[in-house]
Amino acid sequence: MTPSVTKSRPLFKKMHVAWFVVLTFITGLIYYPIWFLRRRKAFNALQSVKKLGSGWLIYAIIAFSLNLLLSNEPEASEGAGTLATIALIGLMFQAFRVRRILEDHLMAVSGRDVELSGVATFFFGAYYLQHKLNTFQGMFGATADVPPPLPQQAAVFSPAAPTPTPKEREKEILRLAQRKGGRLTVLEVAAETSVTLEEAEQMLNDMSVRGHVGMQVADDGAMIYEFYGLGGKPTLETNAAPLPSEPERKTPKQASASPGVMQKTQANGLVFELLACTQHNGQLGLACAITSPGADCELILGAARLFDAAGNEYRMKEVQVANKPPKDKVQHLFVEGVRVSAAFSFADLPSLETIPLFEFLCRDVASGKNFKVAFRQIAVSKTA
């Protein structure tokens, strides 16, 4: 007897948008909040700090149900209609919350700043979101359909191979890095080891936070991880311990910085300086300076994040460049030779002493190229 095989299915099933519209109208709008509720668990499993609650969705189902049941009662229909209108407004806010969740996840998976249309979300709501779920289905992962345990005769089959431990997986990655000259991409790790794509990204980021691995953006936008001691050459100081099974190595020297500059690095022909990192209660700010020494360069800045010593990730609240108002994303022309200030703000953070990794995403408007800028081992100053 052949044993059952574990199958995987997409986290979000494809659904024709026209069929979604039909279901909404034939159920008197009741299916619309049900669409959110059925996918809520999957939305909350994505890589985003935002989560979708169930309160508004349950309220909307009740409000639409009452509106449908009382439609022939003149005295009660007006009140039920008001409740339904409030529910529609609440569902619009839920649609924008899901839009943010999808953007955060797509950025985390692709390493690029992915923006979904706010206008389309406002006018078409969940219909537009379903269209995007269909479009990006392969980037949301999959869930496993695990078969029930086999009966006792299954004991005649050979026992399954034990699942590799995290240390064994890390050794696999290190062996692959040695063969590849100390430079790897997430896809290479997933293709040539037993580590999945999601695990590869998580493990490489963990190694980066611990200071074993540096990150560099290739010309095609792909993220390359450089293993120190195996060929990779860091540009900033790191206090990480040596890689497992590798000989002790000397701590590389930090790039020279001007007085008042904590760290300094270069990316895409521009100079990025970290000037200060201060925290007051749960609010944290990082002050930077950006200079384009060669020519005028227009950039879009955003999608910043930082990691604490425990590996927890925190997303930026807003960024302010020069005298422009703070936003979650800012476009600015960096004039040749002019040093421009950029301030990144984070909210609701625990008390931090150091930040192992702070990075933000930039897009060159002229070329469309995306690249990341990263600073490591940042000391946090406290303000009263």
| 31 pLDDT higher than 60 | yes
Please count the CA atoms within 13 angstroms of the CA of 172 that sit on its side-chain side: 19
pLDDT confidence band for 150 (50 / 70 / 90)? very low
| 3 pLDDT higher than 70 | no
Of 76-80, 217-221, 226-230, 249-253, give the range with the top mean pLDDT: 76-80
* 272, burial (CB in 10 Å: exposed 0-12, middle 13-18, buried 19+): buried
Domains and CATH numbers, the chain: 7-143 (no CATH), 161-254 (1.10.10.10), 263-382 (2.60.40.10)
Q: Report which of residues 224 and 279 the model is more confident about.
A: 279
pLDDT of residue 218: 58
pLDDT of residue 34: 96
| 153 pLDDT higher than 60 | no
173-186 per-position pLDDT tens digit: 888 888 888 888 77
Q: How far is CA 208 from CA 50, 126, 199, 202, 378, in A?
A: 24, 37, 14, 10, 14
Characterize the bridge pairing of strands 223-227 and 213-217: antiparallel
On whether the CB atoms of residues 216 and 227 are closer than 8 A, the answer is: no
Closest CA to 37 of 61, 59, 13, 54: 54
| 213 pLDDT higher than 80 | no
48-105 per-position pLDDT tens digit: 888 999 999 999 999 999 998 988 887 777 888 899 999 999 999 999 999 999 988 8
pLDDT of residue 212: 75
283-342 per-position pLDDT tens digit: 999 999 999 988 899 999 988 899 998 888 899 889 999 888 888 889 999 999 899 999
pLDDT of residue 241: 44
The residues facing 327 across adjacent strands are 319
Q: How far is CA 319 from CA 121, 304, 343, in A?
A: 24, 9, 6
| 250 pLDDT higher than 80 | no
| 350 pLDDT higher than 60 | yes
pLDDT of residue 8: 54
97-121 per-position pLDDT tens digit: 999 999 888 877 766 667 899 999 9
Long-range contacts of 161-164 (CB under 8 A, 24+ apart): 164/194
On whether the CB atoms of residues 276 and 381 are closer than 8 A, the answer is: yes
pLDDT, average across residues 142-161: 47
- pTM attached to this predicted model: 0.43
Q: Report which of residues 101 and 383 the model is more confident about.
A: 101
pLDDT of residue 219: 56
Q: Report which of residues 147 and 19 the model is more confident about.
A: 19
| 243 pLDDT higher than 80 | no
pLDDT of residue 146: 44
| 4 pLDDT higher than 50 | no
pLDDT of residue 274: 93
Which of 3-7, 214-218, 263-267 is predicted least confidently? 3-7
